[in-house]
Structure 1
Amino acid sequence: MALPLMPKATAVWLVDNTALSFRQIAEFCGMHELEIQAIADGNVQSSIVGQDPIVAGQLTREELARCEADPTAKLKARITDIPTPQSRAKGARYTPVSKRQDRPDAISWLLKHHPELSDAQIVALIGTTKSTIAAVRDKTHWNATNIKARNPVTLGLCSEADLEKAVVIAHGRSGGSAPVEPTE
């Protein structure tokens, strides 16, 4: 089940305007029961304005009435034909300072395990520069002695889906067969 677009604002509205149990609201909003109880007590989220899930098209009045009548029932989100938003937009993104030092390790791993990837694909995947890729490839990077090839997915620099998509595109471009993960 997809979570509401603004779960805390939806939870605030449901607490204020319905007779649903904390468990029902927590399951629908993807939050913990204690968070919902704290919202109801006024301890947290006092500055958040509630968002009506009926107006937002996430619930129907009938579904609310059904779940208010039966405290064990689970709220079911209304299924819409509106596509869900992507988790991240294309283009430049912020990488925390603590993860920037991991980029050369990720570049090394990508060059070792997926040499078919172009520099532009690596730039897009982990948010680095072509000069850094060239320096790691040529072992002229200022920190070349300390670079260890580490998977960028486990480092949190890209998602598994983005990496797989880039590898499939690279294999299609090079005319190769299906990608095979090399053994280490």
Structure 2
Amino acid sequence: MTEILMPKATAVWLVDNTSLSFEQIAEFCGLHPLEVKGIADGDVAAGVRGADPVSTGQLTREEIQKAENDAKYRMKAVSPKYADLHQPNKKRGPRYTPLSRRQSRPDAIAWLVRNHPELTDGQISKLIGTTKSTIESVRERTHWNSANIKPTDPVSLGLCSQVDLDEQVRKSSSRRAKMEKERGPEDDTLAPAFEPQAEEKEAGSEITLETLFGETKKD
């Protein structure tokens, strides 16, 4: 449901200018029926000037009349046609990591490298807010603190959310599957694996026949 601007002021106007029930006004404005009753009695929102929802484009006259003729009907607010155009695009700035958690980044990098080798350095950098040089030093074990690095889940360290981690893993899996599909299936023929077994069986058969023939000649 669309949120109403100035709900109490709107309720004041509806109480003063319509024959709607307290329940209808309360549901439309997101208030409690007793609160609307208090507005009608002058105990609530005293001195609040009523706001006409029709002039502000939140409600139509037809909707009010329809509700006045049917006490069970619940009014619906008018959705702004161009609401989405006025919403600024959300730009994600650089990830800020508290100083107390920055020392845990190498542990998180080690965990990601070990458990999700399909992630690129760029993805790891985006997840936990580190640099590619740091990632490379942890991977190559040239980090100055390599002896004390303990692979730890970055989610448990508070460096990223489980949702973000799953999203990056999903992207990597899809990219890897696409690359494998473009490359085509590898030649995994099983013939060589079975040939030695066939030779062993034939050799075993010859030895058995020679043994039998030898025993026959001796007899």
Which category describes the TM-score, using the shorter chain as reference length?
0.5 to 0.7
Q: Give, in whole Å, the separation in 1 of the partners of 2:6 and 2:96.
A: 30
Out of 55, 64, 69, the residue aligned to residue 5 of structure 2 is 55
Q: Deviations over 1:71-114 (max 9, x none)?
A: xxxxxxx998978x9xx853412111000000000000000110
Q: Which residue of 2 aligns with 1:17?
A: none
Pairs aligned (count): 116
Q: Deviations over 1:19-47 (max 9, x none)?
A: xxxxxxxxxxxxxxxxxxxxxxxxxxxxx
**8 Å Cα contact 1:119/1:133 also seen in 2:** yes
Q: Which residue of 2 aligns with 1:118?
A: 120
TM-score relative to the length of structure 2: 0.45
2:167 is the counterpart of 1:128: no
**8 Å Cα contact 1:109/1:149 also seen in 2:** yes
Distance 1:168 1:66, change over 3 A: same
Out of 167, 170, 174, the residue aligned to residue 168 of structure 1 is 170
Q: Give, in whole Å, the separation in 1 of the partners of 2:152 and 2:131.
A: 18
Amino acid in structure 1 at the alignment position of 2:126 = A
Q: Match of 1:108, SS?
A: helix
Q: Match of 1:174, SS?
A: helix
Q: Give, in whole Å, the separation in 1 of the partners of 2:161 and 2:146.
A: 25
Q: Match of 1:64, SS?
A: coil
TM-score relative to the length of structure 1: 0.53
Amino acid in structure 1 at the alignment position of 2:143 = H
Q: Match of 2:95, SS?
A: coil
Out of 88, 92, 108, the residue aligned to residue 94 of structure 2 is 92
Amino acid in structure 2 at the alignment position of 1:171 = S
Q: Deviations over 1:145-183 (max 9, x none)?
A: 000000000100001000000000000001189xxxxxx
Higher helix share: 2
Shift >3 Å, 4+ stretches: 78-83
Q: Which residue of 2 aligns with 1:137?
A: 139
Percent identity over the alignment is: 49
What does 1:11-50 correspond to in 2, within 5 Å? none
Amino acid in structure 1 at the alignment position of 2:5 = V
Out of 126, 151, 159, the residue aligned to residue 149 of structure 1 is 151
Q: Give, in whole Å, the separation in 2 of the partners of 1:99 and 1:131.
A: 19
1:54 CA drift (Å)? 4.0
Q: Which residue of 1 aligns with 2:160?
A: 158
Q: Give, in whole Å, the separation in 2 of the partners of 1:67 and 1:174.
A: 60
Higher relative contact order (CA 8 A, sep 6+): 1
Q: Match of 2:147, SS?
A: helix
* Structure 1, unpaired ranges of 5+: 1-52, 71-77, 178-184
Amino acid in structure 1 at the alignment position of 2:174 = G
* Structure 2, unpaired ranges of 5+: 12-25, 38-75, 181-219
1:64 CA drift (Å)? 1.5
